């Protein structure tokens, strides 16, 4: 396959970026998208040019690092996969592919296709954990949890924090991410003790980071590689309203 790549190049967050065009040839349809970029970077390195910087780690669809917008869609044209799981057979010989970083104020560009997603870490640090003393490790079945509840909690926990929901949202909202993390703990009995303070702190941190508001267009869930459900956002809203109504600050 011969391809034309239009890639966003930006030295750092304070430097103006631009799209640059590169040509790659003899790309195997069985290559992953990141392997194709590896080929491009090898070519650039041999020419003495600066390689294209992009995030990656496990390359197994688990870490959520491979964040890039491909032809206008987070993680590319396929549903329910990350960029590292996208293969070049999804494109045609002679195609022109546009590659950009996540676009959000809360995700400043570090360099090229790499963005700083520390905002997500700070939201988790604000309340996405269980800190109460739960005692020793109980037997597996000592606390009965209905299968439906356990399944919903597990589905929420599959969020890998990649930020595709933010990149897909016209408002750059982080509601799907935050709602998944809130739901994961609010559904289980171990998380009930701190459920009110947790949701208040996490939503407050989300707002402080500069993420936009949710207008329920559903783009976040549609582009999520783990298909996190919009039901989590509804649950987050219920958790937040309930916490605020019982808050001592009101």
Give me the tens of pLDDT residue by residue for the chain, a chain 250 residues long: 999 999 999 999 999 999 999 999 999 999 999 999 999 999 999 999 999 999 999 999 999 999 999 999 999 999 999 999 999 999 999 999 999 999 999 999 999 999 999 999 999 999 999 887 766 666 656 778 899 999 999 999 999 999 999 999 999 999 999 999 999 999 998 899 899 999 999 999 999 999 999 999 999 999 999 999 999 999 999 999 999 998 765 4
Three state DSSP letters for the chain = CCEEEEEEECCCCCCCCEEEEEEECCCCCCCEHHHHHHHHHHHHHHCCCCCCCCCCCCCCCCCCCCCCEECCEECCCCCCCCHHHCEHHHCCCCCEEEEECCCCCCCCEEECCEECCHHHHHHHHHHCCCCCCCCCCCCCCCCCCCHHHHHHHHHHHCCCCCCHHHHHCCCCECHHHHHHHHHHHHCCHHHCCCHHHHHHHHHHHHHHHCCECCCCCCHHHHHCCCCCCCHHHHHHHHHHHHHHHCCCCC
Superfamily of segment(s) 117-245:
Alpha-helical ferredoxin (1.10.1060.10)
Report the pLDDT value the prediction gives residue 142, as an integer from 0 to 100: 72
Report the pLDDT value the prediction gives residue 190, as an integer from 0 to 100: 86
Report the pLDDT value the prediction gives residue 70, as an integer from 0 to 100: 98
Query: What fold does the segment set 3-41+50-103 form as a domain?
Result: Ubiquitin-like (UB roll) (3.10.20)
pTM: 0.93
Q: Where are the domains of the chain?
A: 3-41+50-103, 117-245
Report the pLDDT value the prediction gives residue 246, as an integer from 0 to 100: 87
Report the pLDDT value the prediction gives residue 144, as an integer from 0 to 100: 83
Report the pLDDT value the prediction gives residue 61, as an integer from 0 to 100: 94
Report the pLDDT value the prediction gives residue 249, as an integer from 0 to 100: 54
**Which tens digit of pLDDT belongs to each residue from 27-55?**
999 999 999 999 999 999 999 999 999 99
């Amino acid at each position: 396959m011969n391809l034309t790549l239009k890639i966003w190049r930006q030295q750092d967050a304070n430097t103006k970026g631009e799209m640059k065009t590169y040509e790659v040839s003899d790309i195997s349809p069985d290559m992953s998208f990141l392997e194709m970029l590896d080929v491009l970077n090898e070519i650039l390195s041999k020419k003495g040019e600066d390689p294209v910087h992009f995030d990656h780690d496990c390359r197994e669809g688990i870490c959520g690092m491979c964040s890039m917008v491909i032809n206008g869609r987070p993680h590319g044209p396929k549903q329910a996969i990350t960029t590292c799981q996208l293969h070049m057979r999804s494109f045609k010989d002679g195609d022109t592919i546009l590659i950009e970083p996540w676009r959000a104020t809360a995700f400043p560009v570090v360099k090229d296709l790499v963005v700083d997603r520390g905002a997500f870490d700070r939201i988790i640090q604000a309340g996405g954990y269980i800190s109460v003393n739960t005692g020793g490790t109980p037997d597996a079945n000592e606390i009965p949890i209905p299968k439906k509840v356990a399944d919903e909690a597990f589905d929420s926990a599959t969020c890998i924090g990649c930020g595709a929901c933010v990149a897909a949202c016209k408002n750059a909202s982080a509601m799907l991410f935050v709602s998944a993390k809130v739901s994961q703990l609010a559904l289980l009995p171990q998380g009930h003790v701190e459920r009110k303070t947790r949701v208040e702190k996490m939503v407050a941190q989300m707002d402080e980071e500069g993420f936009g508001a949710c207008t329920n267009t559903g783009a976040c869930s549609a582009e999520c590689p783990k298909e996190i459900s919009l039901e989590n956002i509804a649950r987050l809203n219920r958790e937040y309203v309930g916490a605020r109504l019982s808050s001592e600050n009101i």
